[in-house]
Structure 1
């Protein structure tokens, strides 16, 4: 608690705007980033922990003295929250968009949702806890790391008295268990865990997690049971939407004052229905229930959910006007044991191996010297990323990089079957364009990936074609390999420039962090051109860049001639050549991984090995960075070929 208090009360110098600050338009509302409920507390220095407060989520848009307060549904509630406006109106001469929570604080220093409802109506003092900065003076910050956004927000807010209605939401790095225990002991609702390097995504993600001390959520009011006297309301009949149907979740009859009951009953009477909107209701409830349109939302605490799906010991906390009934579903804690919380559980890895039928020998063997990453950890990792990785590896001929004795300097390539290989790694034969036949390996499911882990595989490299169409590649790869003296900033800019040239030719591309020191620019293709045509195009493209920008690019792989420049490796585009598979681990210290990213995200990253297995597992739970990759249909045309010659 002392550490948390220090973080919350730390003195911060107030940033002063220049007198010449230009005028910026009022920032527009954005969809909120939402938290995923979990029981697991993530670990690691890349996780920040904030106090979970119980209030109304809000975005505050500011342009000079003009302030607009938006609810989570984008409604303008500036008038309802006018008591928090004065410090916001004086915050900046420029423009900002801030994400945070509006709360009422009780005499014990806890956020109190019931008080908040009363406070809005009565104009009582409220507080706005600001925890994220999405836009500043017209600059979009959403793609910057969360920690950077919070630092800029903290500088903007400056030092604030405890009584000020505008407050910065402090955080603690790592130590999630201690923070959570302190919050629960203090009677607070719980904690919010956020990845320090995460960008702001207007969706529910696992880079933001909520861990609650008590079970609490919103429920749709579908009816009520009248009191025994026939006048008044005894309890509310609750439900949640599941697959479009309103499912009965029980009744709540405690937590109300008489004034609350009277006010809620008046709202219910305006929404009367003859029949229940629930998909089904227990017979004893149906006999006495009175039904209403499912439009009102109540927040309820409860002890647990019974096996039949009803609430045990529920207690009413308040009505919510900031949430739509149609959006209310039963929250289920997400199991994060496969790595979504950067907490790859070795025990779960062992269980997953058994479940897919792979006998995992020496599961506790350390795979990366100086770390705690074991075979079982890697099984958990591949389970976490399998959904994203399998489309890139299924049915593609493989080359495997295997470890021998725990020394990453002593790895070897394998392209053919050896005795003792797991059955989940398949072996077969195909005919090449040259007329020669070749033995190949491939996998088609999670069991195949875990079979590789059992064989001490640290890298999966794939062909650019399927084994069923070995002569027709599905993609091109431009591997940017920099000279040792160049930084990652040079590589990123090169990738962006290559993207620009490809777009001018009419080709879409996607960036892959290699997990080493470079970036792969990947271009999906409809499998029509053969390997010779594709390789010839890639070579012409590389030589075109080397001719037009010789100070930066070279198309010759000689390291002696590369000094100060980047080799655009087109050689990975020949039949039989391979490239690292997206989401594969690398045989490098630090357990880095090859991770797909967006073009918008690439400029914010600091290295090609920015994701270790923990960060990559968490990234795999986010919306797909390569959305649309497998749907795009593009081919090499004569116009494109002539343009690069």
Structure 2
């Protein structure tokens, strides 16, 4: 754990990070101040960093807390502390997280959400396969039913997977992959699975990208998982009123129809101490073998 000093700073891994306005409310409905947020980030760091380290990072900053204005930040802000690493991709200089000091530095800047690239800096290969189930409704009581349906299809293909709440309204399903699988290959199998579930449950799923044309259906998004794109990292906080956290789930929890709002900054530590990282417990799956068999 980092050490807080009386000088308004935190020392982490030998680096001192200045803390400004520690009493500023970032999630007013939950009473979460910046100081509390940084404590929670430190507790989340062994899990969050696993899915951000070495990747091109986009953050969403809320200088005045969740009710206030926000902005996406891709380019690393200046001046940068000496411990912050960067990488340039398509003329954008991204932060590349390496450890806790950078995470706390970003937390002090009111970066409340972490959206890493789906590949490592300097690589064109995906780190994992992630299917995004995106509801058209702000409150979607069928989202876990949709996730369970996709999970069963993946299981029938011999693939183990891990569902996770986005922390907002949706669910992502993660399949660890062996090295060598390409983004184009994952789009092929994604389209295959998406077409199957939309034909099986046309009342529930759609492949329509335009939200205005989806009605009340859940978008099976296989296109977002591609080079240069991002999705909310596992274990990232979300700038929602209840301070939700993008949380991996057991399939048994999906069957119980848990809600994304069940997992948040005020209870995530207890869950992680009890259950650990559910994604890390699933070995790489033979996705490439299935892609090779697709027509």
| TM-score normalised by length of structure 2 | 0.88
User: CA–CA distance in 2 between the matches of 1:596 and 1:424?
Assistant: 30
Query: Which of 51, 68, 88 matches 1:429?
Result: 88
Where structure 2 has 5 or more consecutive residues not aligned to the other structure, the ranges are none
Is 1:353 the equivalent of 2:7?
no
Larger Rg: 1
Identify the residue that residue 417 of structure 1 maps to in structure 2.
76
Q: Distance in 1 between matches of 2:150 and 2:188?
A: 17
Q: Distance in 1 between matches of 2:223 and 2:68?
A: 24
Pairing 1:566-577 to 2, within 5 Å after superposition: 566-577=218-229
Cα offset, 1:606, TM superposition: 3.3
8 Å CA contact 1:479, 1:521 repeated in 2: yes
Structure 1 segments unaligned to the other structure (5+ residues): 1-337, 339-345, 431-435
Cα 1:496–1:392 shift into 2, 3 Å:
same
Q: CA deviation at 1:620?
A: 1.9
The correspondence for 1:589, drawn from 241, 244, 252, is 241
Q: How many residues align?
A: 292
Cα 1:383–1:601 change in 2 (3 A) is: same
Q: CA deviation at 1:396?
A: 1.3
Partner of 1:483: 136
Q: Deviations over 1:256-303 (max 9, x none)?
A: xxxxxxxxxxxxxxxxxxxxxxxxxxxxxxxxxxxxxxxxxxxxxxxx
| C-alpha contact 1:360 1:454 (8 A) present in aligned 2 | yes
> Could you tell me the TM-score, scaled by structure 1's length?
0.42
1:372 to 18, 31, 38: 31
Seen in structure 2, the aligned counterparts of structure 1 residues 601 and 404 have a Cα distance that, compared at 3 Å, is same
How many Å apart are 1:413 and its aligned residue? Answer: 0.8
Matched residue, 1:614? 266
How far off its partner does 1:568 sit? 0.9
Q: Pick from 434, 452, 465: which aligns with 2:119?
A: 465
Deviation readout 1:40-61 (Å, 9 max, x if unpaired): xxxxxxxxxxxxxxxxxxxxxx
CA contact (8 A) 2:140 2:169 kept: no
CA distance in 2, matches of 1:567, 1:597: 20
Deviations 1:492-533 (A, max 9, x none): 111111111112222211011111111111111113122222
CA distance in structure 2 between the aligned counterparts of 1:605 and 1:483, rounded to whole angstroms = 18
Partner of 2:64: 405
Rounded to whole Å, the distance in 2 between the matches of 1:376 and 1:350 is 14
Shift of 1:348: 9.0
Query: 1:349 & 1:389 partners in 2: Cα distance?
Result: 27
1:528 and 2:185 are equivalent in the alignment: no
Higher normalized contact order (CA 8 Å, seq sep 6+, divided by chain length): 2
Other structure's SS at 1:449 match: helix
Deviation of residue 588 (structure 1)?
1.1
Residues 641, 539 of structure 1: CA spacing in aligned structure 2 closer, same or farther, 3 A cutoff?
farther
Cα RMSD after superposing both structures: 2.6
1:520 aligns to what SS in structure 2? strand
Deviation of the 1:373 alpha carbon: 0.9
Give the deviation of 1:401 after TM superposition: 0.5
Give the whole-Å Cα distance in 1 for the aligned partners of 2:79 and 2:259: 38
